[in-house]
Amino acid sequence: MQIIKFFVCVLFFVNLCQKCNSVEKLKIGGIFNISEESEEIAFRHAVRMANNYNQNYKLFLTSETVFVDHTDVLKTSKAACQLLQTQVVALFGPSSSISSPHVQSMCDNKEMPHIETHWDTRKSTSSERNLLNLHPHPQTLAKVYVDIVRAYKWKRFTILYDTDASLAQVDELLTSNEQEFQVQIRQLDLDNSWSYRTVLNLIKKSGEVNFVLACEIDVLEDFLLQAQHVGIITERFNYLIMNLDMHTLDMAAYQYAGCNITGVRLLDPELNDVIEVADSLSRIKQKLGKPVELASHLAAWKINVKTALLIDAVSLFYETLKDFHEAKQFEPKTLFCNATDNWEHGYSIINNMKTRIWNGLTGHIKFDHHGVRSEFLLDMVELTEGGLIKIGTWNSTDGLNITRSYRGDDLSHLEEEGILQNKSFIVITALTEPYGFLTETTTQLSGNDRFEGFGIDLIHELSLMLGFNYTFVIQEDGANGNYNRETKQWNGMIREIIDGRAHLAITDLTITSERQGAVDFTMPFMNLGISILYRKPEPVPPSLFTFASPFSIQVWMLLGVAYFFVSFSLFLIGRLCPSEWTNPYPCVEEPEFLINQFTMKNSLWFTIGSLMQQGTEIAPIGISTRMVAGIWWFFTLIMVSSYTANLAAFLTIETLVTSFKNIDELARQTEIKYGAKTDGATSNFFRDSELDTYRTIWKYMYHHPDVMTSDNDIGVRRVENENYAFLMESTTIEYMVERHCTLAQVGGLLDDKGYGIAMKKDSKYRNILSAAVLKLQETGKLTALKIKWWKEKRGGGNCASGAAGGQATPLDLKNVEGVFFILTVGTILSFLGTFIELAVHILHNNYKNKRKLNDNFKETYMNELRFIFKFKERVKRLQPAALTDNSSTTDSNELMQDPARSEELEVVTDNQTSRKRKQSK
């Protein structure tokens, strides 16, 4: 009895442990428009993020998505019904004001949580108990723009909008006190984007200087470009952009126009969490083969609000579902739209979401009892010479708070207020060529005079422009800064900046998303990418059959076909042409038979002699044979000329060969070792990449630590002395190949990134220094500094060579196909001419001998053709009418049956021209 109780207890505990360790999988559904592929990718990525952040919790989300046309309400409703049948626990989307109400009605009926992230002008009702929208409420959002207009003290302005949905955004401006604002409204014609200029010219003539833009982001981009062309993007004009995706626009073209362009943003693209998500989405798109507009470390500027809201919605739902799951066990349920059943847990889950306060990518998230996001924080941003900068905030409690009063953030204002004037900075650098050197001199130097280089000169130019002082210190170990994932600590220059021992850091310091999370960077002062440094390719010795190289194999084969084709055509046309049948004995006026010089052997000899430009004693007589010969001679003229010209190229140009041509070939081979700088940005790039080729590269370097180097100089020496390829930045490769003449860059750039000046996180000097760097770039000063240190100083230009080795290309069929076409057409025309000439000859004989010859034309013509195609017949029997009455006829068959006579006739045929010359003598 005790044993039975023991086994019962054991079974109970085993069953309990299995329940504890089991992972419950729950599914959420997403309805996306056919044009929302990026949002669908973000939705799936958000599910993976939620699962990864909660690996220790036994709740696993899966996703089921469908693509429909949101304007088709029926298909959208059917898609929602299909998702409900798959036991989902929530529906996300659709982002359409047309089909969303129908899906919402369905979810209310089934008590299914319905989460939206789009702009919705509908007012929430008590019946929509299962709806939750993360997008800021339109009525609350409209108050932001009213507060900005009042803060700028605009008394009159013009509203420009594209669609009726955009016009709804400015409803608060239109319904305000009519005496407070004088408002004009103009709609942009979306059918013809160039017609924007009609509206732009009208408002330019009206003298209006204040504008409110309520447009979609793609319309806004075209509008600003055309407004610049018209001339209303200047310091006289002010623009307020009512689009939360303003940060995704490329505003570089308008930064120095002096125009006041203001907007608000819900998403701060400089937050670490946003940068990490942006970097992940960029890598996913690259892996899927989708276009990525920017490099991964700048991709945050391209994340729109819809994507960020969708990621926040999934994260918020997972956290709510986890808490609900801990408090109460529940099971998903299959729901049918044509049935009356519902999911009893839906209301509880959506109510828990409404009461939750969450901080996501879009900031503070809080809902009222209707599921409306009415409390949120917005950043007010303005376009300056340093880009978009934050100038204030807005929240539903305190309203608008502008943190500075002056307009713009250009250098003139900064100099007036003395923000950088007489400031002193400690600048840390490394002795890395050509960014920092010890000055070569025989005298003892002190202070900043001890150093020179590109980075030293750049800081000097910035100090002259902004008026600050600086002192250089050297990073002794030369480490730029690498993050140790085990100790959670930085080293190198980044560590010095974080700890405050240096204010600025400049060297070949690559801007990465990982480093941007720890420090701030200016805009890049140099753009570059990773490439391969290897020995210069060596010339290939000429092969035994170099003479055949000018033509491709196809051309050689076709040339042989053309030779035999023309030879046979000449043989056949020669037999058809009456003029080619000649008297073998010129002294005999009435010959018994005629012979033809174009036997098969003579035809082959004639064409090969023409091709070799040597000629033969055989001369065509008839028009058709001369046409074939002329076309063949033209063909051989072009082919021989082309061969001669291309052969000279093959004999004079050296063909260079390398062991590999790109990173893929380098990764596949096993003979050449390759590596990079240890703990550098290059090695980190391969470490974090998700592409198969780059992961192969990293696995090789990780498992062979001997291929890694402590600095670039060691890597360069290994390339020179070993069978070794070194992965490094393209700008450093450019510097090295100018001084090491045996080295060269192989392949293109593997990525796109830049070098920047690092400073402490949230530094107020970042935008100022970025604007100054941009000015140096525009004035050409940065280019002059690069030429100085890359091509002039410290041995630059030593490897400047004249003509680089090239490679001759064999002529392909496409290069000479026209000549073959002319040869074919000419030969065909020659055949046609031969048949015509034969017919004319027969008609002439019939007319001349009509009293003696009664054969009709058709029978005579067919007899001639039958004889022509008897290729063994080498002599032609003359018609009786062509002979005198007393002349005897000799059958050609009888002549051919006599071997001695046949051999004599062959000799006569082959040497007809030679005999004629002897007889004439």
Dihedral of CA 453/455/459/465: which sign? positive
pLDDT of residue 893: 44
Query: Do the beta carbons of residue 814 and residue 642 sit within 8 Å?
Result: no
Q: Using alpha carbons, list the distances in angstroms from residue 818 to 91, 170, 821, 827.
A: 64, 66, 5, 14
Q: Is the pLDDT of residue 780 over 50?
A: yes
| C-alpha to C-alpha distance for 789 and 319, rounded to whole angstroms | 55
Beta carbons within 8 Å of 305's beta carbon, 6+ residues apart? 135, 244, 245, 266, 267, 362
φ and ψ at residue 102, rounded to 5 degrees: -70, -40
Q: Both tokens of residue 87?
A: 């036991």
SS3 category, 336 = coil
Percent of the chain past pLDDT 90, that is, above it, reads: 13
pLDDT of residue 3: 55
Query: Do the beta carbons of residue 376 and residue 348 sit within 8 Å?
Result: no
Q: pLDDT tens-digit profile of 816-858?
A: 566 677 768 777 877 787 777 777 776 767 666 654 444 577 7
pLDDT of residue 653: 64
Q: pLDDT tens-digit profile of 583-604?
A: 777 777 777 778 777 888 788 8
Q: What is the CA radius of gyration of the chain?
A: 43
Q: Is the pLDDT of residue 297 over 70?
A: no
Q: Is it true that 411-526+761-788 and 657-751 share their CATH fold?
A: yes
Q: What is the CATH number of domain 154-265+376-402?
A: 3.40.50.2300
User: How confident is the prediction for the chain on average, in pLDDT?
Assistant: 79
Q: How confident is the model at residue 802 (pLDDT cuts 50, 70, 90)?
A: very low
Instruction: List the beta strands (DSSP E) in 396-525.
Output: 399-402, 424-429, 437-438, 451-452, 469-474, 483-484, 489-490, 504-505, 519-521
Q: What is the CATH number of domain 23-134+305-373?
A: 3.40.50.2300
Q: Using alpha carbons, list the distances in angstroms from residue 506 to 456, 712, 771.
A: 8, 17, 16
Query: In this structure, are strands 114-116 and 88-92 parallel, antiparallel, or unpaired?
Result: parallel
Q: Is the pLDDT of residue 917 over 60?
A: no
How many other CB atoms are there within 10 angstroms of residue 491's CB atom? 17
Query: Do the beta carbons of residue 29 and residue 86 sit within 8 Å?
Result: yes
Question: Which of 103-117, 446-460, 519-533, 612-626 bottoms out in mean pLDDT, i.e. has the lowest?
Answer: 612-626
| C-alpha to C-alpha distance for 178 and 746, rounded to whole angstroms | 68
| C-alpha to C-alpha distance for 219 and 674, rounded to whole angstroms | 49
Rounded average pLDDT over 704-720: 88
Query: Do the beta carbons of residue 642 and residue 559 sit within 8 Å?
Result: no
Question: Which of 496-505, 638-647, 797-806, 828-837 bottoms out in mean pLDDT, i.e. has the lowest?
Answer: 797-806
Dihedral of CA 293/297/298/299: which sign? positive
SS3 category, 436 = coil
pLDDT of residue 292: 54
| C-alpha to C-alpha distance for 261 and 209, rounded to whole angstroms | 12
Q: Which has the higher per-residue pLDDT, 879 or 508?
A: 508
Q: Is the pLDDT of residue 906 over 80?
A: no
| C-alpha to C-alpha distance for 782 and 883, rounded to whole angstroms | 99
Peptide bond into 94 cis (omega under 30): yes
Q: Using alpha carbons, list the distances in angstroms from residue 332 to 20, 85, 116, 200.
A: 19, 10, 21, 56
Q: Both tokens of residue 507?
A: 């060297």
Which residue in the block uniquely carries the two structure tokens 């010209």?
645
Dihedral of CA 831/837/841/847: which sign? positive
Type of residue at 839 = A
State the Cα torsion 269-272-274-277 to the nearest 10°. 140
pLDDT of residue 896: 42
**Closest to 173 in 3D by CA, of 165, 164, 162, 181:** 181
Rounded average pLDDT over 657-682: 84
- Angle, helices 553-576 vs 857-868, to 10°: value is 130
Query: Do the beta carbons of residue 746 and residue 532 sit within 8 Å?
Result: yes
Q: Is the pLDDT of residue 30 over 90?
A: yes
Identify the DSSP state of 18: H
pLDDT of residue 124: 53
Beta carbons within 8 Å of 326's beta carbon, 6+ residues apart? none
Query: Do the beta carbons of residue 409 and residue 767 sit within 8 Å?
Result: yes
| C-alpha to C-alpha distance for 770 and 777, rounded to whole angstroms | 11
Let me know if 736 is exposed, middle or buried by CB neighbors in 10 A (0-12, 13-18, 19+). Answer: buried
Q: pLDDT tens-digit profile of 189-245?
A: 766 655 677 788 888 888 888 999 988 888 888 888 888 888 888 888 899 998 888
**Closest to 240 in 3D by CA, of 120, 171, 157:** 157
Which residue in the block uniquely carries the two structure tokens 């004999």?
651
Q: Both tokens of residue 209?
A: 């200087």
SS3 category, 360 = strand
Dihedral of CA 838/840/846/848: which sign? negative
Give the best-scoring range by mean pLDDT among 168-172, 369-373, 764-768: 764-768
Q: How confident is the model at residue 871 (pLDDT cuts 50, 70, 90)?
A: low
Instruction: Region of 512 please: left (phi>0), alpha (psi -120 to 50) or beta.
Output: beta
pLDDT of residue 918: 44
Q: Which has the higher per-residue pLDDT, 670 or 459?
A: 459
Query: Do the beta carbons of residue 288 and residue 38 sit within 8 Å?
Result: no
Rounded average pLDDT over 141-160: 87
Q: How confident is the model at residue 88 (pLDDT cuts 50, 70, 90)?
A: very high
DSSP codes joined into one string, 11-50: HHHHHHHHHHHPPEEEEEEEEEETT-HHHHHHHHHHHHHH
Which residue in the block uniquely carries the two structure tokens 């409803």?
171
Tell me the HSE value of 695 on the side-chain side, using a 13 A CA sphere: 5
| C-alpha to C-alpha distance for 103 and 70, rounded to whole angstroms | 11
- Angle, helices 37-53 vs 305-327, to 10°: value is 40
Q: Both tokens of residue 562?
A: 């053309």
Measured in whole angstroms, how far is the alpha carbon of residue 615 from the centre of its chain?
57
pLDDT of residue 194: 57
Measured in whole angstroms, how far is the alpha carbon of residue 202 from the centre of its chain?
40
Q: Both tokens of residue 803?
A: 């003509």
Q: Which has the higher per-residue pLDDT, 650 or 882?
A: 650
From 3.40.50.1970, 3.40.50.300, 3.20.20.140, 3.40.190.10, which CATH number describes the 657-751 domain?
Answer: 3.40.190.10
Measured in whole angstroms, how far is the alpha carbon of residue 850 from the centre of its chain?
81
Q: Is the pLDDT of residue 813 over 90?
A: no
Q: How confident is the model at residue 899 (pLDDT cuts 50, 70, 90)?
A: very low
Q: Both tokens of residue 672?
A: 């050449």
Rounded average pLDDT over 781-795: 86
Q: pLDDT tens-digit profile of 39-85?
A: 899 999 999 988 887 776 778 899 999 999 888 889 999 999 999 99
Of the chain, the end-to-end C-alpha distance in Å amounts to 141
pLDDT of residue 872: 67
Q: Is the pLDDT of residue 787 over 80?
A: yes
Which residue in the block uniquely carries the two structure tokens 């899927």?
288
pLDDT of residue 166: 77
Q: pLDDT tens-digit profile of 438-497?
A: 888 878 888 888 899 999 999 999 998 888 889 999 998 888 888 888 888 899 999 999
How many residues does the structure list for the chain? 921
Q: Which has the higher per-residue pLDDT, 30 or 371?
A: 30
pLDDT of residue 898: 46
Domain borders along the chain are 23-134+305-373, 154-265+376-402, 411-526+761-788, 559-652+816-920, 657-751
- Report how many helices (DSSP H) and strands (DSSP E) the chain contains, helices first: 31, 36
pLDDT of residue 657: 63
**Closest to 513 in 3D by CA, of 685, 757, 705, 743:** 685
Identify the DSSP state of 87: T
DSSP codes joined into one string, 291-310: --SS-GGGGGGG--HHHHHH
pLDDT of residue 128: 63
pLDDT of residue 630: 85
Q: Is the pLDDT of residue 405 over 50?
A: no
Beta carbons within 8 Å of 407's beta carbon, 6+ residues apart? 260, 382
| C-alpha to C-alpha distance for 393 and 144, rounded to whole angstroms | 10
Rounded average pLDDT over 876-886: 47
Secondary-structure class of domain 411-526+761-788 per CATH:
alpha beta
Percent of the chain past pLDDT 70, that is, above it, reads: 80
